[in-house]
Structure 1
Amino acid sequence: MGEFIAVIIITILAVVSPGADFAIVTKNSYLYGRRIGFFTALGISLGVLIHVAYTLIALAFVIAYTPQFLNIVKYIGAGYLIYIGYKTFTQKPVIDMSLLTKINSFQALKYGFFTNALNPKTTLFVISTYTQIVSLSTPKIILLGYGLFMSFAHFFWFSLVSILFSSMILRQKMLAKQVHINRIIGSILCVLGITLFFAKFQ
């Protein structure tokens, strides 16, 4: 029971802490609306399952024989965050919403998925949870349950974020200041990417 409570608390704290996932859901929600924000959140939750899968299947092998794999993930993820941060920072304001280049549900899901799947912060969160909090004697079905909970927690929280930032009143206010908002979001993503690029896995 203590292990279960620890996993819940750590997951909630990790999910609600601002980061790349929050930034991309906020951007897609206020620019494209609730449905696109929702699918972005779904993509993020699926990305979490990637971290859970390789952690459960091959963590011991990766750490023992190919520790450089974690660095490869780190560099790819950091580069991706810097890239989407730059694209967001330099995005031109949309005066006429009818002229906004639309993205479909699959594209939104893809953005969310890769933002999370390539995020070293999530890598560290999942790996540290399974190696420092969860006991080696915990049944595999319980370990899988923890992973599904992590995924659901991400989906639930970021769905709420998409609902909030796609509300008509808030969305109109954010669209009126979209240049400043895009620069703030873009800067945050770039800083996160640069920070993660130089971070060291312990």
Structure 2
Amino acid sequence: MELSIFTGSTEFIAIISISIFMAISPGPDFFMVTRNSIVYNRTSGIYSAIGVSLAIWLHVAYSIAGLAIIISKSIFLFSIIKYIGAAYLIFIGFKTIISKSNFNKEAINKQKNKELSKFNSFKNGFITNALNPKATIFFLSIFTQIVNVDTPLLIQVIYGAIISIVHFIWFSSVAYFFSHPVILNKFQRYQKKIEMFVGAALILFGIKVAFTKSS
């Protein structure tokens, strides 16, 4: 009994630690949320964060069901996921780079009033995370190497909730930070350069995703 409690505590600490590491590590999710927060507004960034955090449940579901192993071992399935994900990131990155930005005050106010719908913002975050093959590998590692096979289903679901909540807190904070008026005013002078940098980062991550290996 004592050993079981100790094992459970170790799992819990490991899950929280890995969740934080996964969330704060710069990746496609970070740049997608940042992009929508800067180019559009805070609401867009927050809904993108919600999309990321809910996509986590997709990974949790197939990992608990044991499908993560099948996906990682199937070259065909893994390739479909990574190439669609890579194409999506490259498309959004290219779209960000070619977007027009003007620096006069009237144009900037118009830009800030321009909105990406809540659904499209959510979709950006969800698809970016859901089609990231590295997330598949991450969750495969978590649910095969860290979570004990005897861990109850309810506890595994709680672990999934922890990972999802950590991601939402982090990316909501990212959205809040990059959409703050003080930060936007600082970025205003270099708006187009920043958008090009974020777009280029998304393209590079898309290329990196395309070359991700399942093992």
TM-score after normalising by structure 2 = 0.86
SS at match of 1:82: helix
Aligned residue for 2:158? 145
Most deviating of 188-197 and 153-162: 188-197
Task: Give the deviation of 1:63 after TM superposition.
Answer: 5.2
CA RMSD of aligned residues (A): 1.9
- Gaps spanning 5+ residues in structure 1: where? none
Aligned residue for 2:5? none
Q: Distance in 2 between matches of 1:26 and 1:196?
A: 19
For 2:191, the aligned partner's letter is Q
**The one of 31, 48, 54 aligned to 2:39:** 31
For 1:16, the aligned partner's letter is I
Asked if 1:194 is matched to 2:207, the reply is yes
- Gaps spanning 5+ residues in structure 2: where? 1-8
Q: 1:18 to 1:40 in 2, by over 3 A?
A: same
Most deviating of 89-98 and 69-78: 89-98
Q: 1:106 to 1:72 in 2, by over 3 A?
A: same
Q: Distance in 2 between matches of 1:26 and 1:88?
A: 12
8 Å CA contact 1:75, 1:197 repeated in 2:
yes
Aligned residue for 1:83? 91
SS at match of 2:78: helix
For 1:85, the aligned partner's letter is G
Runs of 4+ displaced beyond 3 Å? 63-67, 97-101
Q: Distance in 2 between matches of 1:132 and 1:13?
A: 17
Q: 1:190 to 1:56 in 2, by over 3 A?
A: same
Task: Give the deviation of 1:134 after TM superposition.
Answer: 1.0
Q: 1:35 to 1:6 in 2, by over 3 A?
A: same
Q: 1:31 to 1:175 in 2, by over 3 A?
A: farther
5 Å-filtered alignment, 1:129-168, equals: 129-168=142-181
Asked if 1:120 is matched to 2:128, the reply is no
Q: Distance in 1 between matches of 2:197 and 2:35?
A: 11
For 2:85, the aligned partner's letter is G
Most deviating of 87-96 and 71-80: 87-96
**Identical positions, percent:** 42
Task: Give the deviation of 1:84 after TM superposition.
Answer: 1.1
CA deviations 1:143-193 (Å, max 9, x no partner) are: 111111111111000011111111101112223212111111111111111
For 2:47, the aligned partner's letter is F
Aligned residue for 2:70? 62
